[in-house]
Amino acid sequence: MPPLTRPRRGETTRKPRRAWLSALVAVALGGGGCATRGPNHVYVTTVDRFAVQDLGPAGTAIPNALKPGEQAVGLAYDFNTDHLFVRVAPAQVIRVIERPSGKILREMPLALPDNLPKDKVVGTNTGPAEAGNGAPSADLAIRSSDRHLFAVHPDGRSVVELTLYGEFVRRVEVQGIAGRIAGLAYDQRGNRLLALFAAAGRAQVGALAPEGNVTHCITLGAAVAPVSLGYDSDARRHFVPLADGRALGEFDTTGRLVATHPADGVITAVDAGPRSFLRVF
């Protein structure tokens, strides 16, 4: 076997910097299906502001997310792309916004059909939900593994699943709930959809099975304004606006209130998630 060739003076056995960076990116992406997790942030929208507020460490507002006359009624944050999905009323569209620039990437009409083939509806509930606390919710959630969106149906007891581009997948009729659905969030680590319910002065968060049954439920230990739900999958914390609407309550897995976060106005929508250091588009 010939001896190894020694590098000449001035030469190096290190790979060029560009190749090294490319290899690092490839490893971090893991083949293009993930991103590097950063610190957790909580995003909220309020009645009188056009921006999405960031309550996380060193958070900055995402400007011009809304236009005059619009209101955010649902909010979902996708960690993989670092995009915010805002359900906008009265236009009934989902607006996709790049964070942190605030650039609007696209808008998708919200597909919420009422008359569907049986194979597109899961569950047996019919009719509107019974009266609950507050106005009907229109919250939004996203499953980051495939970036499917979940939106509260106007009937108050169903959830509509959509693709990343707003195409209708199915409607799931939630069973075993008291009152109407008041908020949605997705547990990315537990791979389960979470729903906020409110009735008779009590608010609960339940985990939903794929067929719409509530499999686990906690009762929140403080009075809330049931308009939206956020969930931090890493810290396992639930976020719901408190009763005055101007502060966000942070609840642990038992429903105990562990922190309060002031907001700049009456909160209309909330979501939480880790800031991504490396984005996948």
User: What phi, psi does 199 have (nearest 5°)?
Assistant: -165, 145
Sorted by where each starts, the structural domains of the chain and their CATH numbers stand as 40-275 (2.120.10.30)
- Spatial distance between the Cα atoms of 120 and 246, rounded to a whole number of angstroms: 39
pLDDT at 166: 92
pLDDT at 5: 37
- Spatial distance between the Cα atoms of 46 and 247, rounded to a whole number of angstroms: 11
Residue ranges for the chain with pLDDT beneath 50: 1-33, 35-36, 38-39, 118, 123-135, 277-281
**CA distances to 11, 50, 60, 87, 281 from 46, in Å:** 60, 8, 15, 13, 28
Among 46, 82, 87, 114, smallest CA distance to 279 is for 82
pLDDT at 41: 86
Q: Which residues contact 210 (CB under 8 A, 6 or more apart)?
A: 122, 172
Q: What is the pTM of this model?
A: 0.79
CA 160 to chain centre: 15
Query: pLDDT tens digits, residue range 107-154?
Result: 999 877 665 554 555 544 443 334 333 445 699 999 999 999 999 999
Q: Is 236 left (phi over 0), alpha (psi -120 to 50) or beta?
A: left
